[in-house]
Amino acid sequence: MRAGKRPAAGRKRGTEIAVEALIRALGFSTVALVALIFVFLLREGMPAFFTISPGNLFSTAWYPTFGFFGTLPLILGSLIVTVAAVIIALPLGVATAVFVREVAPQWMREILKPLIEVLAGIPSVVLGFFGMTMIAPFVRQILGAPTGLTAFTGALVLAYMSLPTIISVAEDALDAVPKSYRDAGLAMGATKWQTIWRVVVPAARSGILTAVMLGTGRAIGETMAVMMVTGNAARMPIGLSALFKPVRTMTATIAAEMGEVARGGIHYRTLFAIGIILFIITFLINLAAATAIFQKRRQGGLR
Amino acid sequence: MVRNESVRVDGMKSSPPASRVWVLAVIAVLTACGGKPGTQSAAASGSPVDPARGSPGRSVVTIQNTGSDTLVNLALAWAEAYMGIHPEVRLSVTGGGSGTGIASLINGTIQIANASREMSRDEIATAAKNGIAPVRFTVALDGIAVVVNPENPVQGLTIRQISDIYTNKLLNWNQVGGDDRPIVLLSRESNSGTYVYFLERVVRLGSSKGKELFSAETLLMPSSEGISVEVMQNPNAIGYDGLGYVTPHQKVVAVAEETGDRYVLPSAPTVLDGSYPIARPLFMYTAGEPAGAVKEYLEWIQTEGQSLVKDLGFVPFERGEQ
C-alpha cells in the first residue's frame, strides 16, 4: 500500500511545483511589464530633458510646432482640474458610502450597489460628449463664463467619473469597522448619527483616504472626457478665476498630439517627457497614500 | 476624432471558456510587448503592396491612403466610387491628420498620403533619409470658412481683424461691430494642416516671416465636430474650418483682404476665381513617381473623380477643362 501511494504523492508534488513555477512566472511578469513600460517611457522621453533647455521646458508657452515646449501650463492644468474634481467628489462619495453602508435599509442597498457599479462602466467618451453638449452650456449660462468649456466643467465630469471608485472603496472601509464599535457607541447613549460621524467614519479614516487617493489617480489619468470638455487652451491657470476658463491637461495634450508627431522628433520626445512627469506625479500621490496608511496602522487604527 | 481603444478587451469578454480567455490574454500581452516603434509599422505593412506590380488582372491590389482629416470624407467618396468601377483595387482610407499621413508615407507603411498642406522641409529631409522622394498631386481646392454663432450680428471681417482677434488684440465683439460680448477663440489642434494654413495665411497676414502665434487663450478642439458644437451653442465663439465641414447651424462670415475691399463669402465660385482670400489646394503625396494601380487611381481622381468634389463642399481644381 505504501509503495502504491508514494508515486501518487510524488506526482502531486511534481504538478504542484509546476503550478507554483507558473504562478511565480505570471506574478513576476506583471512586475516586469511595469518595469519595461517605465524603461520604455524613460528611453523615449529622457532625451527631451537634455535637448530642450530647462528654461524652455518649464516656461509658460506651449507651441510645440514652433519650438516652444513650456509644460508648466499643462502640469498646472492637470492639477487644477484634478484638485477641483476631488474637492467636489470627496463629500459626495463619502456621504454616499455612509448612506449605502450605514443608513440605507437592506433592500435599498441591494439596488444601490449595482447601480453605482454600472456608473463605473459608462465609457468616458460618452461622459465627455454629455459634458460637451449638456454641462458646458449650463456652466456658460448659469455661471456667466465666456465659454462652457472650462476647468470647472472638466472637474464636474471627472468628479462624476471618480465617484464609483471612491464610493466602493470607502464603503469597504466602513464595512471593515467591527460591529462592536457601533454597539459600543450606541450603548454609550450616542445617537445613530453621532455613532456614524464620531465613531465609524474616524475608524475607517485610512480606508477613506485610500479611496480618495485612488479617485485622484483615476481623475489625473483620465483623458478622453477631459479633452472634450476643458477647451484645451494652453494658458496658465493662475488664480481662482482660472477655474472658469479653459485649460489644457497633460493627458489631453499627449492624446491629441501623439498621433501626429514625427516619430523620434523633439515634439515626440517631449510628449513622452510629459508622460514621465505624469508618472512621477501619480507615483508621488500613491506614495503619499501608502505612507498615510502605514502611519495609521502603526497608530493602531483599522486597516 | 474619437479613436477606439477598447476593441481587444471586448473581444476577450465574449469568449466564455476560461482556458480560451487565458490564451487570448497571453496573446494580448505578447502583442502588447511587441508594440515597439519599429514593429508597429511592420505589422501595418503585413499586406504588402507593390504598386509597380499592380496587374489589373485577377490579383487584388490594396492601396493604403491615410492623412488629412479635411480630405478624409472626400478620399472615402473617391475610394468607394473607384472600387465600384475597379473591383480589383482595394482602397483603405483613414484620417488622423496631414502629419500622420506624411509620417506614414515616410515610414513606408502607406502608398498615398493626404495632406492639406505642403510637406515641410524637415519632413522632406526625413523622407530622403529613408530613401523616399515624395511626389505631390493637387486633388482639390478648399476654402477655409470663418464661422460664428447664428445669433452673432457680425457680417464681415477683414483678414487684419481676424488676425487681431486670434492674437487677443481685439477682445470684445463690439470692437468689430457686434454685441457687447467677450470673444471666445476656437481652433483646430496645432498639428492639423488647417491650423498651419490659417496661422500663416490669416494670423500672420500671409507673410512667411511673421512671428505671431495664436493666443494662449485659444481653445484647441480635437475635431471639426468640437468646433461646430461649440459655435452652435456659444454666441461668443469664433472658429474656422474647411468649407466642407460647415453646417447650417453655423454662420459663415464674409471676409475681405483689407478694409475697403469687397467682403466675400466662401463658395465654390469665389474660391475658384480667387476672390475669397482664405483658400488653399489639397494634396495627395506618393512615395516616388507612382506606377500601376496607384498611378491609375491618381489619374482618375484628377479627371473623372473631380465630379465628386463639389458634393462634399470642396472645389474642383481644374480651371481649363470643363
- Quickly state the pLDDT bin for B196 (edges 50, 70, 90): confident
* Topology (CATH level 3) of domain B142-279: D-Maltodextrin-Binding Protein; domain 2 (3.40.190)
CA distances from B285 to B83, B123, B151, B289 (A): 20, 12, 41, 10
Which position has the grid cell 447650417?
Answer: B248
> Residue A200 in contact with residue A303, Cβ under 8 Å?
no
Nearest to B220 among A33, A233, A260 (CB): A233
* Chain B residues near residue A261 by CB distance under 8 angstroms: 99, 103, 191
What is d(CA A230, CA A81) in angstroms, rounded to the nearest whole number?
Answer: 9
pLDDT band for position A45 (cuts 50, 70, 90): very high
Residue B116: strand, helix, or coil = coil
Which is higher by pLDDT, B25 or A202? A202
Higher pLDDT, B25 or A92: A92
Q: Can you give the three-state secondary structure of chain A, one letter per residue?
A: CHHHHHHHHHHHHHHHHHHHHHHHHHHHHHHHHHHHHHHHHHHHHHHHHHHCCHHHHCCCCEEHHHCEECCHHHHHHHHHHHHHHHHHHHHHHHHHHHHHHHHCCHHHHHHHHHHHHHHHCCCHHHHHHHHHHHHHHHHHHHHCCCCCCCHHHHHHHHHHHHHHHHHHHHHHHHHCCCHHHHHHHHHCCCCHHHHHHHHHHHHCHHHHHHHHHHHHHHHHHCCHHHHHHCECCCCCCCCHHHHHCCECCHHHHHHHHHCCCCCCCHHHHHHHHHHHHHHHHHHHHHHHHHHHHHHHHHCCCCC
Report domain extents, chain B: 5-141+281-312, 142-279
For B68, the closest chain A residue by CA position comes to A260
Q: Of chain B residues 120-179, which have a CB less than 8 A from chain A?
A: 122-123, 126
Residue range B134-160: mean pLDDT, rounded: 93
Going by pLDDT thresholds of 50, 70 and 90, the confidence category of residue A7 is low
Average confidence (pLDDT) over A43-66: 90
Q: Which residue in B96, B190, B218 is closest to A64 by CB distance?
A: B190
- Nearest CA of chain B to the CA of A88: how many Å? 25
Say if B5-141+281-312 and B142-279 have the same CATH topology: yes
CA torsion, ordered A5, A6, A11, A13, to nearest 10 deg: 110
Asked if B99 and A261 come within 8 Å (Cβ–Cβ), the reply is: yes
Which residues make beta-bridge pairs with A68?
A: A63
Which of chain A's residues have a Cβ under 8 Å away from the Cβ of B196? 65
pLDDT, one tens digit per residue, over A252-285 is: 999 988 877 777 788 899 999 999 999 999 888 8
Cβ <8 Å between B217 and A233? yes
Contact B112, B79 (CB under 8 A): no
Burial A245-270 (b: 16+ CB within 10 A, else e): bbbbbbbbbbbbbebbbbeeebbbbb
pLDDT of residue A11: 59
Q: Which three cell numbers stand for residue B26?
A: 497571453
Average pLDDT of the segment spanning A154-161: 94
**For B6-20, B68-82, B268-282, which range has the lowest pLDDT when averaged over its residues?**
B6-20
Q: Stretch A173-186: mean pLDDT, rounded?
A: 92
Question: Which of B55-59, B130-134, B202-206, B300-304 shows the lowest per-residue confidence on average (mean pLDDT)?
Answer: B55-59
User: Is residue B256 predicted with pLDDT exceeding 70?
Assistant: yes
Give the residue with greater pLDDT, B24 vs B285.
B285
DSSP B311: G
Q: What is the pLDDT of residue A135?
A: 92
Question: A234 and B234: CB-CB below 8 Å?
Answer: no
Nearest CB neighbour to A65, from listed B29, B100, B191: B191
* Grid cell of A146 as nine digits: 465666456
Q: Which of A63, A133, A136 sits opposite B213 (nearest CB)?
A: A63
The nearest alpha carbon in chain B to A44 belongs to B37
How high is the pLDDT of residue B192?
76
A69-111 per-position pLDDT tens digit: 999 999 999 999 999 999 999 999 999 999 999 999 999 999 9
The per-residue DSSP string of B237-263 comes to EEEEEEGGG--TTSEEEEEESSTTSPP
pLDDT at B9: 35
Residue A125 Cα, gap to closest chain B Cα (Å): 8
d(CA B227, CA B167): 18
Give CA–CA dist B33/B27, Å, rounded.
Answer: 10
CATH number of the domain at B5-141+281-312, please?
3.40.190.10
Among the residue ranges A142-151, A217-226, B52-61, the one predicted with the least confidence is: B52-61
Going B281 to B284 to B289 to B295, the CA torsion angle's sign is negative
pLDDT given for residue B43 in this prediction: 34
Which residue in B has a C-alpha nearest to residue A73's C-alpha? B216
- The residues, any chain, with a CB within 8 Å of residue B136's CB and separated by 6 or more, are B118, B119, B283, B284, B285
Mean of pLDDT values over B298-309: 90
First to last CA, chain A: 50
Q: How far is A250 from chain B (nearest CA, A)?
A: 14
**pLDDT at residue B220 above 70?**
yes
Q: Given this model, what pLDDT does residue A9 score?
A: 52
Q: Which residue of B has its CA nearest to A267?
A: B191
Looking at per-residue pLDDT, the higher value among B310 and A277 belongs to A277
Q: Do A132 and B229 touch (CB under 8 A)?
A: yes
- CB distance A132–B236 less than 8 Å? no
Residues 230-289 on B with a CB inside 8 Å of A are: 230, 233-234, 236-237
What ipTM describes this predicted complex? 0.78
Q: Chain A partners of B190 at a C-beta cutoff of 8 Å?
A: 63-65, 257
Whether the Cβ atoms of residue B224 and residue B245 lie closer than 8 Å to each other: yes
Chain B CB contacts of A148 below 8 Å: 233-234
pLDDT bin (cut points 50, 70, 90) of residue A296 is low
Average pLDDT, chain B: 80
Work out the pLDDT band at B42, boundaries 50, 70, 90: very low
CB of B30 less than 8 A from some CB of A:
no
Model's pTM, two decimal places?
A: 0.75
pLDDT of A290 reads 79
Does residue B2 sit at the A interface (CB-CB below 8 Å)?
A: yes
Chain B residues lying within 8 Å of A65, measured CB to CB: 190-191, 196
pLDDT score for B50? 44
**Nearest CA-CA partner of A51 in A28, A29, A26, A69:** A69
Q: Are B126 and A262 within 8 A, CB to CB?
A: yes
- The pLDDT score that the predictor gives to residue A10 is 53
Residue A250 has what pLDDT? 95
B112 forms beta bridges with B65, B286
The mean pLDDT value for B275-281 works out to 91
